[in-house]
């Protein structure tokens, strides 16, 4: 999964040139991008038809896209009614008012819950059983905000009005209740940083460096700090 490039829809402009938000695009174009994103991320899919015909996760994303369109175009009641039907048929519950960016993928999809005030950036991937929920302690904006290119592993629970930074990974089975910085992996209950990719420059100190072997005491102290 990691080695794969981030999905870019075939035949469309790259995101560097095309900075439109979902709400500025025609619905069919948004859904097309979702399908190609799923194709790039799913090693078991051999063609776009595998996604169109068999990918439950993509079908969940597509139904959400339609419900969100209805919800934001004055048809809230119909959107909620159809969302209820999707819950029963596909086993996922995405509230139509949630705001989800471009090229969104859900793998497998069963048991996904995304609350009403959740915000998800572009190029995010979530797996089955993920909950973006509220703690029950707050009203208003009470669900998480995910940045761009965030991965949330199977069964992870992300609670409250917290922010998960761009390029972060949330390990399967984690419970996240605090903000997550960009470019780290968090895991566990409660989730803690287990990998930090924020510093990628050259190492200044060699692995076998031992400050106690230095002759000069001043240099020794400055290295120890
Ligand atoms: C977290 C994950 C994305 C790997 O991210 P990564 O940045 O490459 O991190 P690493 O694999 O280097 O793991 C870092 C540490 O976290 C630990 N870790 C990884 N996943 C973990 C998890 N789910 N729970 C607890 N600890 C975990 C690793 O053992 C490692 O610990 P160590 O340094 O003591 O060995 C991956 O483990 C994961 O959970 N993917 C979810 C995929 C998924 O949901 N698949 C379902 C498909 S059906």
Residues with CB under 6 A from ligand 1: 108, 127, 151, 153-154, 169, 171-173, 185, 187-188, 194-195
pLDDT digits (tens, 9 = 90+) for 54-95: 999 999 999 999 999 999 999 999 999 999 999 999 999 999
Report the chain's mean pLDDT, rounded to a whole number. Answer: 88
pLDDT band of residue 139 (cuts 50, 70, 90) is confident
pLDDT digits (tens, 9 = 90+) for 165-206: 999 999 999 999 999 999 999 999 999 999 999 876 665 556
* Atom 35, ligand 1: residue with shortest CA distance: 194
Distance (Å) from CA 187 to ligand 1 centroid: 7
Residue by residue, DSSP assigns 9-34 as: -TTS--TTT----GGGS-HHHHHHHH
CA distance 78 to 84: 10
* Atom 33, ligand 1: residue with shortest CA distance: 194
- Name residue, tokens 């996760």: 57
Say what the pLDDT of residue 27 is: 96
Say what the pLDDT of residue 162 is: 97
* Atom 2, ligand 1: residue with shortest CA distance: 171
Which pTM does this prediction carry?
A: 0.85
Beta-bridge partners for 131: 113, 157
> Comparing 33 with 136, which gets the higher pLDDT?
33
Say what the pLDDT of residue 11 is: 39
* Atom 10, ligand 1: residue with shortest CA distance: 195
Report yes or no: 184 and 193 within 8 Å, Cβ to Cβ.
Answer: yes
């Amino acid at each position: 999964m990691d080695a794969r490039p981030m999905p870019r829809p075939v035949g469309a402009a790259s995101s560097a040139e095309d900075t439109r938000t979902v709400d500025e695009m025609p619905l069919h174009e948004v859904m097309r991008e979702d399908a190609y994103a799923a194709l790039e991320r799913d090693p078991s899919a051999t063609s776009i038809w595998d996604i169109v015909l068999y990918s439950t996760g993509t079908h969940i994303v597509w139904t959400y896209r339609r419900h969100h369109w209805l919800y934001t175009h004055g048809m809230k009641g119909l959107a909620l009614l159809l969302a209820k039907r999707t819950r029963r048929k596909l086993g996922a519950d995405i509230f139509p008012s949630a705001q989800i960016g471009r090229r969104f993928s859900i793998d497998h999809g069963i048991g996904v819950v995304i609350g009403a005030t959740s915000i998800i950036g572009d190029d995010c991937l979530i797996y089955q059983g993920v909950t973006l929920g509220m703690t029950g302690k707050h009203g208003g904006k009470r669900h998480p905000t995910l940045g761009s290119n965030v991965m949330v592993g199977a069964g992870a629970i992300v609670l409250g009005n917290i922010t998960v930074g761009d390029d972060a990974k949330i390990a399967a089975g984690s419970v996240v209740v605090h903000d997550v910085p960009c470019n780290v992996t968090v895991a566990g209950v409660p989730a803690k940083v287990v990998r930090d990719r924020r510093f990628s420059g050259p190492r200044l100190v060699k692995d076998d460096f031992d400050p106690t072997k230095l002759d000069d005491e001043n240099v020794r102290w400055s290295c120890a700090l």
